[in-house]
């Protein structure tokens, strides 16, 4: 078992469980998950669906999150869906079918936006396919960051 404590943002409504890892609920300034004492080094943002990304595109609040993330050395957005889900959007979304013709955000634009996040903010975006895989990826990222920085709590 690793010595780190997983920090879960207090606003995360249905958080990942992290199995045997110790967790602590704390307000994070940026992101949904981090490692206690290394919050200044690691930020993991979770996106459950293409609909959530589509909503974020138009929010100034999300652009502010990306700006803050760009100041953190290890920054990730873990997507609980596949690239194919973007291509087929809004199929499979929670958007009622009767509204599909009026959508202003296309799958092509969502893909462009995700690419721009990576290029403009240096955020690693990983398509994990489902919640379980995203949680496993988060743990793997945390282990690597903890191995590298431990509880030294140093600033990079």
Domain boundaries, the chain: 5-149
Which of the four CATH numbers 3.20.20.70, 3.20.19.10, 3.40.50.150, 3.40.50.10130 does domain 5-149 have?
3.40.50.10130
- How many C-beta neighbours within 10 Å does residue 106 have? 13
Nearest to 47 by CA among 17, 74, 76: 76
pLDDT at 151: 57
Say if residue 17's pLDDT is above 60. yes
pLDDT above 90 as % of the chain: 80
Q: What share of the chain is helix, strand, coil (3-state, %, to 5)?
A: 40, 20, 40
Q: Cβ distance 34 to 44 under 8 Å?
A: yes
Pure H helices in 12-130: 50-57, 60-69, 83-87, 107-121
State the pLDDT at residue 94. Answer: 83
Encode pLDDT of 50-81 as tens digits: 999 999 988 999 999 999 999 999 999 999 99
**Structure-token pair, residue 22:** 């110790």
Query: Averaged over 20-46, what is the pLDDT?
Result: 96
- Identify the three-state secondary structure at position 25: strand
Q: What is the pLDDT, as a whole number, of residue 155? A: 46
Is residue 153 pLDDT above 60, yes or no? no
Could you tell me which of 87, 84, 78, 86 has the C-alpha nearest to residue 124?
Answer: 78
């Amino acid at each position: 078992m690793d010595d780190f404590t997983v920090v879960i943002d207090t606003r995360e409504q249905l958080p990942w469980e992290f199995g045997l890892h110790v967790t602590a609920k704390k307000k994070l300034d940026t992101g949904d998950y981090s490692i206690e004492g290394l919050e200044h080094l690691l930020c993991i943002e979770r996106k459950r669906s293409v609909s959530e990304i589509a909503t974020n595109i138009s929010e100034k609040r999300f652009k502010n999150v990306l700006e803050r993330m760009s100041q953190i050395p290890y920054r990730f957005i873990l997507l609980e869906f596949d690239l194919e889900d973007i291509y087929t959007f809004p199929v499979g979304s929670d958007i009622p079918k009767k509204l599909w013709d009026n959508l202003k955000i296309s799958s092509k634009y969502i893909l462009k936006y995700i690419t721009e996040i990576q290029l403009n903010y240096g955020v690693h975006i990983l398509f994990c396919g489902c919640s379980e895989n995203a949680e496993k990826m988060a743990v793997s990222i945390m282990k690597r960051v903890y191995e590298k920085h431990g509880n030294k709590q140093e600033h990079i």
